[in-house]
Structure 1
Amino acid sequence: MGGTAVKIGEFSDLFGLAPETVRYYVNKGLLVPVSKNERYDFDSVDVDDMRLLLKLKSFRFSLSEIHRIMSLRRLSNFDSRKELMDYIDILNHQKKNMLLEKKEIDSIINAIKNEIASATGKHNSVEKRKYGVPLVFLQYLACPKCQGELKISNCNIEKDHILSGDLTCTCGFKADIKNGILIGDSGKISKYDWPDLERNCYRLMNPTLVSYMHKAYHWMLEKLRQKNIKGKVVLEDFINNYCFCQMNFELMDKDALYIITDKYPEIVAVYKGLIDKLSLEHNIIYIASASHMLPLKFGCVDLYIDLDSANEYSLYNNGYSTEALKNYFNKDSSALGLFFSFKPKSSSFAELHKQFPEAWEKSYDISYFRQHLRKTWKQVLDEEAIGKVTDSTQEEIAYSYHIPGEVGVDVYHVEGFSTERMSK
């Protein structure tokens, strides 16, 4: 640059900085160019100052520390031994701080390596045993068409689990057990529906929604602790989006009998694989079938877990999920659930119907759903509004039709199923 002064634009380009950054350093007193008519002229001294500033920044000094060092140089150019020793002391102090920080970072890196190894081992761990249809569930199986007895043949049984086999009824109904999953009739599937094999509803979910869901989990688990479900049959259906049991099985009574179902065999297989890795002692049957065609005895379900299954069903049908499952409940059945909602005439409602043209007009309508609970169940034991999600975005894959400020999360606990009270 020699003795020629340059303007802020050229000076900024020399160091690959934005003019706003250079102006910030000037305002902080780190650079002191000549000012003429509110314009700055930068000379070789300013170039040296900028080089020192950037060097000290690379040493991880704060701007206030850099200002102190540059002031020392401006006062003496480090020609004085005292100022030079002060500078060296500052560098040694920073070196000590960096060594301490390096030690902490190395410790964190090792901890991350251990966590990676642990997580990798969990994912790749060999299952201790093979899980299929527990023999204890045979007493609950029946033809979904005529309720006749299902004949089982060609069975492959390990310990007390059926890994494969054929099920037939005299009326002509057939089902299979493959890889430990009971596969029945999937029924008619909407062209707007699909299996979420990548589990995007979990992985790409809005963080606020995740927090509310976990608050709902705690609420539901607390209600479960207050119930005696030993020997009872617990059903969770429509797990394409979420599966409460998979997330909470280790906190749930191992002496209950659990049914995990969805119409998509591949979705059931995903969750079975995840749950099998837990090596639980729970009795769990996995069924891939349409909800109204589950090969189970009518009235066998004691507790229904509804993790927004009501809305999932209503995206493709006029009604809530209990209407598809009604034959499997009894007068003493109870239900625990979570319900996402927004107002019927909201922007979210309009966007929902663009993406899901078959969606029922009462989908995500909490007011109507509360009426539905009171018509369908004899007693509403408890219900609570968990909160509203205010920061959903169109980039949120899990619920792209959620408009900020419109989405609510509610939970409920009901008992005493009443077929006569079903809404039409």
Structure 2
Amino acid sequence: MRTGKFSELTGLSKDTIYYYIDRGLIYPDKVNNRYSFNKKNLENVEIIKLYQDMDFSIDEIISIISLWNWSNNTEENIKNEHLNRLLKKEREIENDISKLVRKKELLIDEINRIDCKNEENFNNIEIGFPVKNIEVLSCPRCNNQFSINNASMNSKYIFNADLECSCGHKLKIKNGIVVTGNKYKSFYDKPDINRDLYLDMPSIYYKSLNIIGNEISKYLNSLELENKIIMETNINGFSFLYNNLKCFKNNFTIILIDKYEEVLLNYKNQLSKVLENPNIVFIADDSLEYPIKKEVVDVVISLFSGNEHQLYKKDNYFENIYKYIKNNGSIVGAYQSYEPNSKSIKNLKIKYPESSERLYLKNIFLDNLNKFFKQTKSVDLEKVNAYSNKHSFECHEKGDLMTHTIFKGIK
């Protein structure tokens, strides 16, 4: 029979058939320079499939078939050799089964650890706006303090309240979050409630992200943080503090700002499970004038916050942040960039028409860092492939590589 018919009967592709011929597993005749297969070849394929199902490798099957083909399979030593090979494979499979059983046990243990049934191990204590930090707030119009009315609270936290300034400006504390009423109204972004942005990125991107996280942690650990104020904005995408707060002593105040109240509420609920009585000020605000005092923040953490800002605002990121940092306060973080005039930047500007002209341009970003801060330092990490079918990463053009730059500066 010809190759096509043999392929049909055996279910093997032609490439596999030619591979088996090259390895000496089947021996078809050649008639007029074309292969002609016979019943013996069909039997050999069934043997190959049987032994593959028993987890024998191609090399092992070649040896077994060669042993058969060059004996009549009645010699005692040949039968013993064949039997020994089968017994050895049985022992290997038994060993594999034991390993798989152990792996399954470990999986079950990990599933049980993570499963929601174990949530009784969490604190599950509701957190709100820390009473001790009310003086951090300031009217963005006149810089005066707010009065507090209609508050529901305990000795530690304010959960709901009306905030009013003497100039007439009003805010609310709702579910422990300061809600300014300045909402993002376009459709170019949405709240990442399920934190999908962190999932399914290229492995080299995660490697770079881990290096950045380690550097920020080292910087924070080099400071005396007792009673200090640390702020992070634009955290709908990435947030260093949300992921790492449990690694630090809870002896400083955190200000977390984002345009989406839903994102902050999710962060607050999750942090309440792993932190005990934290001092966290959550502010939902899409403006560039936050309801906090000027020059009150000791450290700003910017894990791609500058990029997130540039996607939706045309204003200068540093000019917005600078006014809230104390003299000798600092900023530390990372920035993502492409080469100027790259296709990826062009794609970003199409997807995000509200974006800044400085979008994802490292040199301009660092020039502005140097303009607003002293003692600046920046280090480029290795360039990364940043394609993912979500958020801004779907604008990544094949062939373009993204640069991650770690930076810091002192005011």
Structure 2 letter corresponding to 1:106? V
Q: What pairs with 1:25-424 in structure 2 (closer than 5 Å)?
A: 25-121=20-116, 124-125=119-120, 127-187=123-183, 189-380=185-376, 382-389=377-384, 391-393=385-387, 395=389, 397=391, 399-403=393-397, 404-416=399-411
Q: Tell me the secondary structure at the aligned position of residue 99 of structure 1.
A: helix
Percent of aligned positions that are identical: 27
Query: Which has the higher mean CA deviation after the structures are superposed, 144-153 or 105-114?
Result: 144-153
Answer with 260-269 or 66-75: which moved more: 66-75
Of 318-327 and 122-131, the range deviating more from structure 2: 122-131
C-alpha displacement of 1:173: 1.9
Does residue 30 of structure 2 align to residue 21 of structure 1?
no
Q: Give the TM-score taking structure 1 as reference length.
A: 0.91
Q: 1:149 to 1:201 in 2, by over 3 A?
A: same
Q: CA-to-partner distance for each residue in 1:309-341, whole Å, 9 max, x for gaps?
A: 112112222233332334322322210011001
Distance 2:167 2:404 in 1: 44
CA distance, structure 1, for counterparts of residue 391 and residue 140 of structure 2 = 35
- For the residue of structure 1 that corresponds to 2:148, the secondary structure is strand
For the residue of structure 1 that corresponds to 2:115, the secondary structure is: helix
CA contact 1:303–1:333 (8 Å) conserved in 2: yes
Query: Hey, what's the Cα distance between the residues in 1 that align with 2:117 and 2:360?
Result: 37
Question: Given residue 86 of structure 1, which amino acid in structure 2 is its aligned partner?
Answer: E
Contact map agreement 2:140 2:292 (CA 8 A) in 1: yes
Task: State the alpha-carbon separation in 1 of the partners of residues 152 and 390 from structure 2.
Answer: 44
Of 83-92 and 108-117, the range deviating more from structure 2: 83-92
Q: Which range is displaced more, 281-290 or 13-22?
A: 281-290
Q: What is the letter of the counterpart of residue 47 of structure 2?
A: L
Instruction: Give distance in 1, aligned partners of 2:36 and 2:72.
Output: 22
Moved more, 251-260 or 392-401: 392-401
Aligned mates of 1:99, 1:54 — CA distance in 2 = 21
**Deviations for 1:98-126, whole angstroms, at most 9, x for unmatched residues?**
00010001100110111111111488455
Aligned-pair CA distance for 1:294: 2.4
Q: Distance in 2 between matches of 1:297 and 1:167?
A: 15
CA contact (8 A) 2:259 2:284 kept: yes
Q: In structure 1, give the amino acid aligned to 2:239.
A: C
- Summarize deviations over 1:174-232 as a string: whole Å, max 9, x none: 22222222211325544423222332321132322221111111111111111222211
Tell me if the contact between 2:318 and 2:369 (Cα under 8 Å) persists in the aligned partners.
no
Local SS of the residue matching 1:285: strand
SS of 2:267's equivalent in the other structure is helix
In structure 2, what is the Cα distance between the partners aligned to 1:279 and 1:174? 30
- Return the offset for 1:169: 1.8
RMSD: 2.0
Query: Which stretches of structure 1, 4 residues or longer, exceed 6 Å deviation after superposition?
Result: none
The 1:201–1:320 alpha-carbon spacing in structure 2 relative to 1, beyond 3 Å, is farther
Cα drift, residue 77 of structure 1: 4.0
Shift of the 120–151 alpha-carbon distance from structure 1 to 2, 3 Å rule, reads same
Secondary structure of the structure 2 residue equivalent to 1:400 = helix
Which structure 2 segments of 5+ residues have no match? none
Shift of 1:397: 5.0
Task: State which drifts further: 305-314 or 275-284.
Answer: 275-284
Whether the 8 Å CA contact 1:202–1:398 is kept in 2: the answer is no
CA contact (8 A) 1:130 1:158 kept: no
Question: How many positions carry a matched residue from both structures?
Answer: 409
CA contact (8 A) 1:259 1:286 kept: yes
Residue type at the aligned position of 1:49: N
Going from structure 1 to structure 2, the CA distance change for 1:19 and 1:347 (only over 3 Å counts) comes to same
Does 1:8 pair with 2:3? yes
Equivalent residues of 2:300, 2:331 under 8 A apart: yes
Shift in alpha-carbon separation, 1:267–1:396, aligned structure 2, 3 A: closer
Aligned-partner Cα distance in 2 for 1:8–1:320: 69
Find the aligned partners of 2:72 and 2:276 in 1 and give their Cα distance: 72
Report how far residue 82 of structure 1 moved. 3.0
AA aligned opposite 1:42: F
Q: TM-score, normalised by structure 2?
A: 0.94
Counterpart contact for 1:190–1:316, Cα < 8 Å: no
| CA distance in 1 between partners of 2:389 and 2:286 (Å) | 31
- Partner secondary structure for residue 56 of structure 2: coil
Measure, in 1, the Cα distance between the counterparts of 2:117 and 2:294.
38
Change (3 A) 1:409 1:145: same
